[in-house]
A = this chain, B = another copy of it.
């Protein structure tokens, strides 16, 4: 109950063209290897020596780890106190350059579009574009769409949650 009554940002509170900028601290070799062991154990993410014999020339982060490290701060800064209810997917995730240990990433996330659902008044869609670079060299880009409730949608959700709690 407590959570459902909280005032959250809704679709109406976001503006097309808004940008979020942040820095992602470089990973240590240990962080890269620990992630790889769990999720993506290709040799160039897992072992310095084996990686040095590939075209990467040394250990590089899994592209999935890069993706997560880029997404996390945006999620914390822009999504947590909102009525975002997920995303249908990710479009055009590109790994443009390997991410080596110790390299800080500069990330810019831009809200590139905002539209109402054609069918429902309770929600709309924010188009988002993320670009990460190391000293101006693009490392990762991705685009996706966030499903965000409108004020009407949030009011409906509160009413439903209250009804459930009373039942």
Contact = CB atoms under 8 A, between A and B. Distances in A.
B87 A90 contact: no
Nearest to A52: B164
Given A89-B93, A91-B92, A80 B164 contact: no
B87 A95 contact: yes
A157 interface: yes
Contacts of A63: 86-87, 89
Number of this chain's copies in the complex:
2
B87 A41 contact: no
Please classify how large the interface on chain A is, using the bins under 10, 10 to 19, 20 to 34, 35 or more: 35 or more
A64 B160 CA distance: 28
Nearest to A165: B53
B72 A42 contact: no
A128 interface: no
- Indicate the member of A40, A52, A54, A79 with the most B CB atoms within 10 Å: A54
Interface in A30-86: 38-44, 47, 49-50, 52-56, 63-64, 67-68, 71-72, 75-76, 79-80, 84-86
A40 B71 contact: yes
B95 A89 contact: yes
